[in-house]
């Protein structure tokens, strides 16, 4: 689930985009809701609807995820 949170970083900014360096994990703040991707059958799929993300969970860049392929 942690890796799924990485995909919604831009969606949590409320209409603005905040660029974060590749080597900088982030933590989710209070009352954060958004859409997330889930791994299903070896593919990332966008989950329908928004979910509440627990405060304090980490968001990491894709390169932190084992098996990440930029292609």
Give 63-70's long-range contacts (Cβ < 8 A, gap of 24+). Answer: 63/22, 64/3, 64/6, 64/25, 65/3, 65/6
What is the pTM for the complete model shown?
Answer: 0.50
Per-residue pLDDT tens listing for the chain (71 residues): 444 555 555 445 457 777 777 777 888 999 999 998 888 888 889 999 999 999 999 888 777 776 656 55
Residue 31's region, left for phi above 0, alpha for psi from -120 to 50, else beta, is left
Residue 27's region, left for phi above 0, alpha for psi from -120 to 50, else beta, is beta
């Amino acid at each position: 689930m942690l890796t799924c949170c990485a995909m919604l970083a831009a969606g949590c900014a409320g209409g603005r985009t905040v660029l974060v360096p590749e080597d900088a994990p982030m933590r989710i703040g209070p009352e954060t809701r958004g859409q997330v991707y889930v791994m299903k059958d070896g593919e990332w799929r966008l989950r329908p609807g928004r979910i509440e993300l627990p405060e304090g969970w980490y968001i990491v860049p894709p390169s932190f995820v084992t098996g990440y392929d930029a292609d």
